[in-house]
Structure formats: structure tokens, C-alpha cells
Structure 1
Amino acid sequence: MKYFFNRIFIWLKDLRSKIAFYPSLFAIFGFFFALFIIYLEDLGASKYLLDAAPILVVDNGNTALSILTACITGLISMMVFSFSMVMVLLNQSASNYSPRLLPGLISDKNHQIILGIYLATIIYCIFVSQSIQPEGNSYQVPGFSVLIGILFTVLCLSAFIYFIHNISQSIQIDNILDRIYNQARKRLNFLLESEKELFTIFPETEDWTQYYSEKSGYFQDLSSDNIAGICDESATRIEIIPIKGSFIPRGTPMFKSEKKLDEDAVNKILSNFSLGRGELVTQNYVLAFKQITEVIVKAMSPGINDPGTALNALDYLTELLALRMRKRDDSYFLDEEGKNVLIKIRSVSFGELCYQVFAPIRAYCKHDIIILQKVGLMFIFLKKQKTADEAYLKVIDAEAQNFLEDGKANIKNKTDLHTIRNIAEELNIKI
């Protein structure tokens, strides 16, 4: 039962990133709320409101139907316009910054909730309008229901004003970078907190039994708690082979086990791997480095030529690299008592991460002295930071040397070359 609920949790977490998630929830709420209000009408809600505050009640069926019809048509137009604005935002972000930013923008809760409010109100007004009957001596116009529909429409107008404000902010690259940075920082801080002072020696796993993936997709996340429980039941230890964020074809080795496992245990472990068709920064901090790197590269491309954006992105990249230097390359997960290491989780090494980040930046920015100077200051700053492994400093030195050597080869101005030599001296690097 525990594993079933965990799978439901993982499924819901993936579902939340879809643009239709919150609108669907609000639509269902609008339908059931309309039924609830119609039920209150049968109990005499409109009659009570007519006696208490007659000015708030519409007591003419044609007028009530006209009001609801105007609300429905107006809200449909607003929803179409709002959805079009979201599409414009996604298109501009993909063309000007990076297509990899789209999953994060689509999963923006604010846009989804606003579209959901529109949809819930439209569905509510449609069902309430269906309850309005031709006037008769014994018929009571559902004035209370109409009043609620008018209030919901006013709420939609307020949400539309907020949407215009939010969409104008979301399209700005500074806010996009800030969102990516905050998501990656939270993820890295969570991983650092889970590591704490843990230091362990995990045995060699060359002779362990491998088990393979039964489906393909991006390795998004896994439930360490459930897998640790299975390891405890089976009296074994496992190593997670793929790196989070990598694409897993069918038949790829997924984990190694110290002891051979039965089919039921293997299926339980594999069910706790979340494979999808997309990536999110909240689940994989490495994606933040890729996104920021692509923003820098796109900004420095001849078609965009926006060094200001590249400089801003380098500031965020510096902060994230300094935070990553405090984390070890491999992560471990303990049992409930916190004594025995049950799971070893591989991650992108700091050296590989730096190479993936700086290689494309070096290719596109080696001719720009301002970017070179900024990156040089980044290396100087990183060498002064607290690090989980002294080998990280050698990685910084190697990347700095590659960057400065490429800059020296592509820049001919004497003043610019002098700036590069000064940075090399500060880093104690020979070029």
C-alpha cells in the first residue's frame, strides 16, 4: 500500500507541471459548486436574500439570463486572449532565450490558476443559466445564483488585471533567471542539508547484479525512502547507475544490487523511478546550469547580440557554482536509524558540470573581452569559496586556463591582452 501511494504521489507531482492541471481542477470545482448553489436555491436561498437585501437580487428571468450570457461571452473572450498571451510568452522565450525554458514557464502556477478561475466561472454561469425557467406565478428567479455569478465575474476581471501584470513580468529575462536560480538554489540547499556531515566509504560495485529499465524517458526523480525500505527488507544495498536528468532508453542499466533480488522486489524498486518526457529544475538542479548557459550562448549569438543579458546570467551562474562546490559528487541514503548506507546515488561530477557549462560559453564568448573579464572574476571568486573536495579547485584552474588561452588566441588588442594576463596572474595560471 505504501508503494501504491508513493506512485500516486509521483504521478501527481508530474501532473502538476502540466499547463492544464489547475484549470482542470477549477473546472471541476465550478461544476460542483454550481450544483451546490442550485441545491441552495431549492431550499429558498433567493427568497431569503430577496427579503433581506432586495437590491442585490435580480427578480426577472430575462434580465438574469441576459446578465449570465454577457458574463459567459465576455469571459470566453478574456480566456482566449489570456491563453494567446501565454503562447506569445512561450514563443518569445523560445526564440530569444532558450527552448529549454518552456517547461518551467508552462508550469507557472499563477497562469494556470488564472485560466482556471476563468474556466470555473464560465462553467458555473452556464449551469446556472440552464436552471433559469420561463417566468410563472410559482417560479422564483435564482437571484442568489446570479449574484454569485456576477461576483465571480468581478473576480475574473481582477484576475485579468493581475494576469497582465504577471505576464509583463514573466517575459523579462531578469525574472526568468531569478526564478531558475531560486529553484536550483532550493534544490541544492535541500541536497546539502540531506548530506550534512555524512562521510562514508561505499564498497566497489563491479560484481553486483545489474537490473534494467523497462521503459524509456528522462530520469526525473526517485523515491529514496521507498527504495531504502525495500533494501532493508531484502537485506541489500544498491547503487543508482544513471545520472538524474539523463535520458534512459529501454533496457538501460538502472541500478546494481549487492544481492540478487526476486522479480517482485525489482519491480517495486523500478516503480519508484520517475521517468518522463521533460525536465524541471525543481527535480534536477543541473538543468538550471544548462538553461543559464543556453541563455548566455543565445545572448552572445550574432542574431541576438545582447552582452548585458550574458553578464547578468553569469552572476547567477557564479552563485550556483559556489553553492555546488559545497556538495560532493555522490550522494548516499541511510536507513531509518541513520547508521547504515543503503543507497548510492550518482550525480554529474563537478568537473563534468563545469566542462558542460564553460565549453559552449568559451566557444561563443572568447572574442569578447568584457565577458572574458567577467568570467575571470568568476574564477577568482570561486577559488576563494568553501569546497567539499579540494579537487574542485583543480577543475576551476583547468577551466580558467582553457578560457584565458582561447581569449588570448582570439583577441589582438594590447590593452585587452594585458587584462587577460592580469587575470591569469591573479589566478596563478600561466598562459
Structure 2
Amino acid sequence: MKDRFLQFFRKVYHLKDKIAFFPTIISLAGCAFAYIMMYAENQGISKYLIEFFPQLVINNTETARNILTTFIGGLISIMVFSFSMVMILLNQASSNFSPRLLPGLISNRKHQIILGIYIATILYCIFILVFIEPSGNKYQLPGFSVLWSIIFMVFSLGSFIYFIHSISQEIQIEFIMKRISSTAHKKLQNLLDLEKDKEFNFPDTSNWIEFKSKETGYFQDVSIKLLKEISLHNDCRLEIVSHKGTLCYKGEVLFKIEKELDEKNTDKIYKAFDFSNDEFIEDNYLIAFKHLKEIALKAMSPGINDPGTAMNAIDYLHELFKLRIIKQEKDFIFEEEECIILLHIVAFEDLIYKVMASLRTYCKHDVIVVKKMLLFLKDLKTYTSKEDKIEIINKEIENLLVDARIAITNKTDLQKLQDI
């Protein structure tokens, strides 16, 4: 039962990032409220309010119909415009920045909620319009329900104004980079807090029982809560061999277990792994390094030629690397000061090499951008006292200078870089 619930929860977790998830939920809520109001009208709520609060009730059939039809037509136009703006945002982000940014933009919850408010209001107005019957002596117009449609319309107009404000920010690359950086910064800081004042002792796992991947896919996340539960219940430790965010091929070692478990428990461990093509920084902070790097590369391409954006992306990478350099090279999960789960992560050396190799290839001809990268690497050395990491940074500085000497021919520019 718990396994089924976990699978259901994981499906819902991925659905919430789809552009249609929240609009569907809010639309159903609008339909449900329309039926509630129909029931209240059948109980005579409008007739009661006319006697005591006549100002709250619209009691003219033609006026009510005109209001509802106007609202429906107007909201459809607003919704089409808003959806067009979202498509423009996605197209611009894909062409000018990086197509990998699209999942994060599509999963913007604010825009999904606003779209849901539009659809819910349209559906509510349609249901109330259908509920209006031809006038008769014993018929009471659902005037109070029409009043609610006016309230929803005012709320929808307010949402539209907020949407224009929000979309004007979302389309700015500076806002996108800041959102990427802040999300990854928060994730990294949480991991550093978990490592604080902890001793990392984990036994040799070379003789542990290996379990291989049953499918080929991108390993994006794993349920730590479920793994802890299995580990504590069976009094065994686990090692997650595959790196989050990497392509895991079928037949590769996925995880190791300290001792043999029954098939039921091993199936639970397999179900804890999440394979998906969508990349979300909330699941893996390394995605932020990839996105910021690709934004800088796109900005330095001949078609875009925007060194300012590239330097801003390097600044955000600088902030993230300041946290990553002081982080341990592996993730450990503790229970009462005892390490029970080991997770392998991309090493600092591999991470900074992948970022710098791409940046120096596309930016080596621009002396200002190269200077920015040199200052970034020089400052990064002040955040660690470990000789091995300082040596890694020195190696990247030398690689950058080698490429710069080939691409930059001006002696004055080269001397300024050497002085740094």
C-alpha cells in the first residue's frame, strides 16, 4: 500500500510541474462552486437577500445575461493573450538563452494559478448563464450567483495586471539567472547545514552486494525518506553509486547494500529512484551550474554577442562555487549521529573543469570576460585551505591563460591578465 502511495505521490509530484496541472485543479474548483451556488439558489438564497440586502442581488434577467456573456467573451480574449505571452517567453528563452530553461519556466506556479483563475471564472459564468431560465411569476433569477461572477471577474482582472507585471520580469535574463542561483544557493546551503559538526566515517563498500539499473534514463532524484526507513528497519547501510543528473544505462551499478535483503525490500529501494528527462534545480543543485554555464555560452555566441550577460552568469557561478568548494565530496545521510547512507556526487574537480572548459573555449577571445573568470578563480582560492582544491583551481587558471595567449594577440591585454 505504501509503495503504491509512493508511486502515486511521485506521479503527482511530476504533474505539478506541467503547465496544465494547477489550471485543471482550479477549474474543477470553479465548476464545484458553480454547483454549490446553484444548490443555494434552489434553497432561495437570492429571494432571502432581496428581502434584507437588495443591493447584493441583480434581479433583471437581461442585465444578468449581458453581464455573463460579456465576462465570458472578455475572459477568453484575456486568456488567449496571456497564453500567447507565455509562448513568447518560452520561445525567447529557448532561442536567446538555453532550451534547458524551459522546464523551470513552464513550472512557474504563479502563471499556472493565474491561468486557472481565468478558466475557473469562465466555467463558472457559463454554468450560471445556463442556469438562468426564462422569466416567470414564480421564478427567481439567481442574482446572488451573478454577483459572485462580478467578484470573480474583478479578481481575474487583478490577476491579469499581476500577470503582465510578472511576465515582464520573467522575460528578463537577469531575473532568470537570479532565480536559478537563489534556488541552487538555498539547496547547497541546506546540504552544508546538514554536514555541519558531523564526522564522516563510512566503511569500505567494495564487497557489498551490487544492484544494477533496470532501465536507461536520467537519474534525477531519490527518496531519502524511504531509503532511511528501509535502512533502519533492516539494520543495514546503503551506497548510491550513480550520480544524480547523469544518464544511467541499463546494467550499470545503481546502488549497493551492506547485507542481503529480500526481494520485497530491494524492490522498494528500486522504487525510491526517480528517472526523468526533466531537470529541476530543486532536485539537483548541479542543474544550476549547467544552466548558468549555457546562458553564458549562448550570450557569447556570434549571433547573440552579449558579454555583459556572460559576465553576470559568471558572477552567479562564482557565488555557487563559493559554497560548493567548502562542501564535502560525498553526501552522507545520518541517523542519530550514525552515517547510514552514502551518495556519490560530481567531484569539485570535475564540476569546475566542465564549467571552465566550456567557458574558456567560447570566451577566450574576449579579454574582459577572461579577466572576470581569472578574478573569479583567484577569489575562489580564498574560500578553502585544502591544498588539493587550491591546486585544482591553479590548474584551471593556467589552462585559461594558455587559451587566452592563443586567442588574444595584444601584448597589453595579455600583460593585464598575467598581472592578475
Place the TM-score, normalised by the shorter chain, in its bin. over 0.9
| 1:348 lines up with 2:312 in the alignment | no
The equivalent of 1:34 in structure 2 is: 34
Q: 2:332–2:343: 8 Å Cα contact kept in structure 1? A: yes
Q: Partners in 2 of 1:294 and 1:249 — Cα distance?
A: 25
The equivalent of 1:287 in structure 2 is: 287
**1:105-158: per-residue Cα shift (whole Å, max 9, x none)?**
111111111101101111111111121111111100000001101110111111
Q: 1:218–1:279: 8 Å Cα contact kept in structure 2? A: no
Q: Partners in 2 of 1:124 and 1:251 — Cα distance?
A: 53
The equivalent of 1:301 in structure 2 is: 301
Q: 1:3–1:226: 8 Å Cα contact kept in structure 2? A: no
| 1:368 to partner: Cα distance | 0.7
SS of equivalent residue, structure 2 residue 382: coil
Bigger drift between 325-334 and 215-224 goes to 215-224
Amino acid in the other structure paired with 2:368: I
The equivalent of 2:393 in structure 1 is: 396
Alignment of 1:74-89 (within 5 A): 74-89=74-89
| 1:23 lines up with 2:20 in the alignment | no
Q: Using a 3 Å threshold, how does the CA distance of structure 1 residues 80 and 251 change in structure 2: closer, same or farther? A: farther
TM superposition score normalised by structure 2: 0.96
The equivalent of 1:227 in structure 2 is: 227
The equivalent of 1:248 in structure 2 is: 248
Q: 1:408–1:420: 8 Å Cα contact kept in structure 2? A: no
The equivalent of 2:413 in structure 1 is: 416
| 1:405 lines up with 2:399 in the alignment | no
Bigger drift between 102-111 and 205-214 goes to 205-214
The equivalent of 1:158 in structure 2 is: 158
Tell me the matched-pair count: 420
Alignment of 1:5-404 (within 5 A): 5-335=5-335, 338-386=336-384, 389-404=386-401
Q: Partners in 2 of 1:137 and 1:386 — Cα distance?
A: 85
Q: Partners in 2 of 1:16 and 1:249 — Cα distance?
A: 27
Q: Using a 3 Å threshold, how does the CA distance of structure 1 residues 393 and 4 change in structure 2: closer, same or farther? A: farther
Q: Partners in 2 of 1:128 and 1:247 — Cα distance?
A: 52
SS of equivalent residue, structure 1 residue 384: helix
Q: Partners in 1 of 2:339 and 2:382 — Cα distance?
A: 32
SS of equivalent residue, structure 2 residue 244: coil
Bigger drift between 364-373 and 120-129 goes to 120-129
| 1:316 to partner: Cα distance | 0.7
Q: Partners in 2 of 1:68 and 1:281 — Cα distance?
A: 43
| 1:273 to partner: Cα distance | 1.2
| 1:217 to partner: Cα distance | 3.0
| 1:3 to partner: Cα distance | 4.6
Q: Partners in 1 of 2:149 and 2:31 — Cα distance?
A: 13
Amino acid in the other structure paired with 1:167: I
Amino acid in the other structure paired with 2:366: D
Bigger drift between 195-204 and 155-164 goes to 195-204
| 1:211 to partner: Cα distance | 1.2
SS of equivalent residue, structure 1 residue 383: helix
Amino acid in the other structure paired with 1:378: F
Amino acid in the other structure paired with 1:145: S
Q: Unmatched 5+ residue regions in structure 2?
A: none
Amino acid in the other structure paired with 2:347: S
Q: Percent identity?
A: 48
